[in-house]
Amino acid sequence: MKKVLLILLAIIVVLLIAVWRYLQPPAAPDSQAFLNATVLTMDADNSEAQAVYVEKGVIKNIGNNTEIKSLITEDTIIYDLQGKTLLPGFIDAHGHFPASGLAELGVDLNSPPIGTVENIDQLLERLQAKAAVTPAGEWVFGFGYDDTSLAEQRHPHKDELDKALPDHPIFLSHISGHMAVTNSAGLAIGNIDENTPDPVGGVIVKDANGKLTGLLEEEAALPMQIVAMDISPTGFLEMVRSASAEYAAYGVTTAQSGAVSSKFAQGIKLASMLNLIPQKLELWPLFNEWGDMLLQGESDADSFESDRVNVGAVKIIADGSIQGFTGYLSQPYHEPYHGDESYRGYPRVPLDELTDWVVKFSKAGYQLAIHGNGDASIDDIITAVAMARGAAPDKDPRTILIHAQMAREDQLLRMKSLNITPSFFSAHTYYWGDRHSQIFMGPERAARMSPTASAKAIGLPYSVHLDTPVTPMRPLIAVWATANRLSTGGNVIGAEQRVPVIDALRAVTIDAAWQIFKDGETGSIEVGKAADLVVLDSNPLLSPATVKDIAVSATFVDGVQIFSAE
């Protein structure tokens, strides 16, 4: 009997050791040498070099081939880059990892240039195909539909969803992520009818006769989203695996999950423990959910953190989306919304409530990242931050103003005085530039969207981002859009707001790292920093017009290769 017990104990020990080893992240090689490269360091002088030497995932030397070759030993792994370009890895300054993996679970309804859905019939056909393999009564959800990209120039209506998919509740998330459409079954599950009042910061949309259309804006959509997109643990891990692979293939070494709930944070913790996320990850707690739990001491950020996971800024969503007509403007939209020539959108969080949250988090020592698209919302954010600065002085709070899409010149100056740093969604000029000019903002205001050159002129630090899954995780498209400002129609959207490619590259590397207090660890190729690196097939500084088409050859995090094109 003793012998059997000893054998069982030995098996258990072996299994535990195997599991422990499986859960250990891959270790970096003892030494690596990157030779024959164009090294764009992104240091303070934008220095260039030819070669880099790395030990155990940390950059030790930068120089020419001869200098680095002198450090090579018989154990050094050598990468002959044959003239390719070596950069610090790209940092996702604002996004929603792993939501780009939704394609593993839901129906992709994106229109060109992202997807292929051009009209509502095609949208319905895709949903019907998904419904055919989904048990009756279970949710069918789609994502990425864009009403102004569809031939009909409108949102899908609950009645056509009822007719096309009579056996399922439906939830369709708008491309902006700030509204959704559901059908009668979905409305019934959400206990929404014609008499249901609009929530604060949201609208339950009705037609001229007071009948529900199925469209839910902002806070009105959130409760339904939580129910309809209640993803299983296995589904969540599928999303993580898909998104991690995509991010790695496009050179992302630090990903971000903005507006994270407590449940979502638990899922990320599990995925990280299973080594499904090779990137470093920034978690931004949602202010009135996990953020409030942290504030009240009901959750501990440290328990979610590791060498690769950091709990960073608390995210507040102050308004909505310009392309969804829910961004909060100081002047009316260019094309009247539903015929209302005075319509300016609305705040998702009213000013007094916003100020209260900002002051509370600031007093508690939290960094804040506040979403603001319209200039009226930006006014509110600046007012709230000014109040917080008086109540809780901080030498370097680095409050991040997410999107800052319609920021005016006077607002940029106030941001600088209050140590607010914008993160611009410059790719709007590509994906929505023509529609901003023709529908949402008009030519004059559209030309000033994401005003990177104005920020640079006054020395206001900024980053640029893609807000993935709103747009695909393609950092070089963000760089290209920031430098060129060309729309999908080939029109220039505000030539005066263009910046050089090197500035745009800094906005997805070192300046993005600075915003999250990681500039001492990553974001540039400098001695002592982590070997978070990306290899590009060509030098983006030599081809400003084609930066978005440059291929990623390899990606490294802490010296560990997480992607190779070969």
H-helix or E-strand containing 206? Answer: strand 202-206
pLDDT score recorded for residue 230: 87
Beta carbons within 10 angstroms of residue 274's beta carbon: 13
Contacts of 412 (CB under 8 A, 6+ apart): 422, 451, 454, 455, 458, 460
What mean pLDDT comes out for the span 62-91?
97
What mean pLDDT comes out for the span 176-186?
96
pLDDT score recorded for residue 94: 98
pLDDT single digits (tens) 120-165: 999 999 999 999 999 999 999 999 999 999 999 999 999 999 999 9
pLDDT score recorded for residue 269: 87
Model confidence at 8, pLDDT cuts 50, 70, 90, reads: low
pLDDT single digits (tens) 533-544: 999 999 999 989
User: pTM for this one?
Assistant: 0.93
pLDDT single digits (tens) 278-315: 999 999 999 999 999 999 999 999 999 998 999 999 99
3-state secondary structure string, 65-87?
HHHHHCCCCCCCEEEECCCCEEE
**pLDDT, the chain, mean:** 94
pLDDT single digits (tens) 490-506: 999 999 999 999 999 99
pLDDT score recorded for residue 24: 64
Q: Is the pLDDT of residue 368 over 80?
A: yes
pLDDT score recorded for residue 117: 98
DSSP 332-387: --SSPBTTBTT-----SS-HHHHHHHHHHHHHTT--EEEEE-SHHHHHHHHHHHHH
pLDDT single digits (tens) 412-446: 999 999 999 999 999 999 999 999 999 999 999 99
Supply 165's token pair: 């998919």
Single-letter amino acid code for the residue at 41: T
